[in-house]
Structure 1
């Protein structure tokens, strides 16, 4: 398996940012870490090994980004405006700096000129990030596999009144998206998977998954909303089962 580590400067964040690449060709996929996680977690928790067949067969290439959740979503004692502004700087880093760089790396390793869209995936907070990027930028992403996510910003920003927070809350902005919005056709031509277990530590994620299911059905956006069993916990052992299962259908 082709594996490469990168550390490159981000103008959006004013610092070096690290990421890992797994694979040489196939569908390029941006992997978002779980809450407060790092770019190496996907490998360390066995997720890369769980999907290695897709990677080694040239069907999938993973780009594992670093998070700054501790400066934004998880900084509970911080000012709301600064926290969400820092998140938005990271959002801009991913879409304006990281994704173009990932495309360049992909074309070098795959020896092609791929100009298509990316997949987004992640577990827990990574599921939120992947969904947020997908629904905000369907011009960049056309596949989503979100596992055990929270999609309403109120969980991290209770009692807020801030437009930028709203714009990063998929469970809210999908509720109000107008019927003639051009994003809807992009959503309808994408592959969307939102999965949640019904075991331990999944109650809040189930509630948010219900919201997403209701809104996507109302908007007539096809999506695979999958509720797994009551023994399926909010934890890595189950995500290692879920991701290859859904990839076998999405790819």
Structure 2
């Protein structure tokens, strides 16, 4: 398996950032770690090994990025400063990393993916820059910024709150037609510690329905809690279907 480790300077974050790419070709998945996680977590947890055959065959490629949650959503202190970290992180992803990947992997489908906080980041990138992605795959996400900063609100808190963005999207917004061409898959369990994620997922589904955006939204039983065993089972179930769609050149319309 081809594995590329990259450490490069980000002009938005004014520091060196790390990521890993697993695979040489195929359906590319921009993978965000769980809360406070690192770029190597999916490898350490066994996700890369789970799909190693497809990766080695050039059918699948994981791009695993780092997080700055400890300085933004998980931090304490001034909400505006924390939001600025998140905003700069967003621009690092969409203005530095994704353009680089688009240049080096021009023929690849690109989906954003994540579990828990990773799902938040994936959906945020999709909500704000659907032109950069072919789809989004989210598990057990919280999708509104108010969960982390409570009553504080400004332009950045709205921009970085995908649930609010979809709930308040105008019917004449230029992105609406674009959202309708993309593949959206969202899943959440109904077991332990999924309460807030379940609420957000339900509200997100309602917003999609109201806007006429087709999305596959799934609710798993109470046996599926907010934890890795549930996510791995969900990934193992849904990812082969997404890969099959991509390989057939399908888009959800």
Whole-angstrom distance in 2 between the partners of 1:56 and 1:228: 31
Q: How many residues align?
A: 243
Deviations 1:50-81 (A, max 9, x none): 333332232221111110111111112x2111
Instruction: Name which of 171, 185, 198 aligns with 2:177.
Output: 185
- Alpha-carbon spacing, 1:238–1:49, altered in 2? closer, same or farther (3 Å): farther
* Residue 223, structure 1, aligned to residue 222, structure 2: no
Alignment of 1:16-35 (within 5 A): 16-35=16-35
Whole-angstrom distance in 1 between the partners of 2:2 and 2:234: 23
Who is 1:151 aligned against?
143
Instruction: Name which of 149, 152, 161 aligns with 1:169.
Output: 161
Who is 1:10 aligned against?
10
Who is 1:79 aligned against?
78
Who is 1:139 aligned against?
131
Secondary structure (helix, strand or coil) at the match of 1:74 reads coil
Whole-angstrom distance in 1 between the partners of 2:53 and 2:202: 32
Who is 1:90 aligned against?
89
Structure 1 residue 103 displacement after superposition: 3.0
Secondary structure (helix, strand or coil) at the match of 2:225 reads coil
Deviations 1:141-196 (A, max 9, x none): 12111000000111101001211111111111111101111211111111100100
Secondary structure (helix, strand or coil) at the match of 2:193 reads coil
Secondary structure (helix, strand or coil) at the match of 1:139 reads helix
Structure 2: which 5+ residue stretches go unaligned?
244-253
Contact 1:196 / 1:209 at 8 angstroms: preserved in 2?
A: yes
Whole-angstrom distance in 2 between the partners of 1:52 and 1:147: 21
Larger deviation: 140-149 or 241-250? 241-250
Structure 1 residue 100 displacement after superposition: 2.1
Runs of 4+ residues deviating >6 angstroms: none
Instruction: Name which of 118, 122, 134 aligns with 2:110.
Output: 118
Whole-angstrom distance in 2 between the partners of 1:25 and 1:241: 25
* Residue 60, structure 1, aligned to residue 60, structure 2: yes
Whole-angstrom distance in 2 between the partners of 1:130 and 1:8: 21
Alignment of 1:94-113 (within 5 A): 94-106=93-105, 113=106
Structure 1: which 5+ residue stretches go unaligned?
107-112
Who is 1:110 aligned against?
none
Who is 2:49 aligned against?
49
Secondary structure (helix, strand or coil) at the match of 2:9 reads strand
Whole-angstrom distance in 2 between the partners of 1:184 and 1:43: 35
Who is 2:246 aligned against?
none
Who is 1:247 aligned against?
239
The CA RMSD over aligned residues, in Å, is 1.3
Contact 1:50 / 1:241 at 8 angstroms: preserved in 2?
A: no
Structure 1 residue 117 displacement after superposition: 5.3
Secondary structure (helix, strand or coil) at the match of 1:152 reads coil
Contact 1:33 / 1:125 at 8 angstroms: preserved in 2?
A: yes
Contact 1:50 / 1:240 at 8 angstroms: preserved in 2?
A: no
Structure 1 residue 121 displacement after superposition: 0.2
Structure 1 residue 49 displacement after superposition: 2.0
| TM-score, scaled relative to structure 2 | 0.92
